[in-house]
Amino acid sequence: AALFWSTRDSRASLVRLDQLEWRMGKAKDGLAWQGRAWTGGDLDRFLIRSEGAMEGGTVEHGEVRALWSHAIGPYANLETGIRQDFGHGPSRTHATIGVDAMLPYWIEVEGAVFLSHKGDLTARVELTHDMRLTNRLILQPRGEANLSAQDIPELGIGAGIDQIEVGARLRYEFRREFAPYLGIEQSWRIGAGADLARARGEGASATSLIAGIRFWF
C-alpha cells in the first residue's frame, strides 16, 4: 500500500515518482524525473519535491524543494518553503510559495512563485488531468508554463512567458502503484527566452518521444 495510516492520529507517508522517463528528440536524448515525498497528517505535512533532467550521465538542471504543506480547503494545499537548484550552470536558492489544488473535472493544478537569493522572480504553473480509458489504461494530458519577471541571461531565461510545454502520456497500471507509459511532449521558448536560446545555439522548440514509469509506495 502507498499510504501507512495510523489509527490514532491519521498520519501518513508517501513517496511518488510521477515521471521517470527517457526522452528522445531530434537534438538530444536524456533522462528526466519529477516526484515528491511527504509525511504528516490531514492538515499539515512536510513535503519534498524534486524534478530535473540528465544528459550524457550529467545533471543538466535539477531542483529540490523542501516545503510545509497546509490544507486551505478540501481540495487545495498551500505550500511554502525553500527551493535549491543544482546541475550545469549557476545555481540558485529560492524562497517559494505555491498552491496544489484539484479543480472541477479532476484537473490538478500546481502553481508556485520563486524569489531567488539574487532577486530573480519567476513562476511556474502546471496542469494535468487523468482520463481513465479503461480500468487500467489512463491518458494524462499535461501543460506547463514558466514565467519570469525579468531576463536572467546567465540561466538562459527570458522575461515574460519564457517556456511552454504541452504533452500527453498513456500509462498502463499493472497495479495502482506501478505503471509504465509512453508519450509525446512539445516545448516552445517564447519571446526573449527564444532569443536567448538561439544565441546559445539551441532551438526555440523541441519535440520529444517519451518512455517511462510511474510508481509510488
Render pLDDT for 143-154 as a digit per residue (tens, 0 to 9): 999 999 999 999
pLDDT digits (tens, 9 = 90+) for 60-88: 999 999 999 999 999 999 999 999 999 98
Amino acid at 123: A
pLDDT at 216 over 50: yes
The pLDDT-based confidence of 6 (bands split at 50, 70, 90) is very low
Task: State how far the Cα of 20 lies from the Cα of 35, in Å rounded to an integer.
Answer: 8
- Taking CA atoms, 78 is separated from 120, 129, 160, in Å, by 22, 20, 24
Mean local confidence (pLDDT), 163-167 = 98
Burial of 33 (0-12, 13-18, 19+ CB in 10 A): middle
* Minimum mean pLDDT range among 118-132, 157-171, 191-205: 191-205
Task: State how far the Cα of 158 lies from the Cα of 175, in Å rounded to an integer.
Answer: 42
Amino acid at 42: D
Q: Look over the chain and give the mean of its residue pLDDT values, rounded to a whole number.
A: 93
Please, are residues 39 and 67 in contact by the beta-carbon 8 Å criterion? no
pLDDT at 166 over 50: yes
The pLDDT-based confidence of 7 (bands split at 50, 70, 90) is very low
> Kind of pairing, strands 93-103 and 76-86?
antiparallel
Please, are residues 136 and 172 in contact by the beta-carbon 8 Å criterion? yes
The pLDDT-based confidence of 2 (bands split at 50, 70, 90) is very low
57 vs 155, residue with greater confidence: 155
Task: State how far the Cα of 181 lies from the Cα of 22, in Å rounded to an integer.
Answer: 11
Q: What is the pLDDT of residue 213?
A: 98
Q: What is the pTM of this model?
A: 0.91
Q: What is the pLDDT of residue 129?
A: 98
User: First vs last Cα of the chain: how many Å apart?
Assistant: 6
Give 149-161 as a DSSP string: SS-BGGGTB-SEE
pLDDT at 1 over 80: no
Task: State how far the Cα of 114 lies from the Cα of 79, in Å rounded to an integer.
Answer: 12
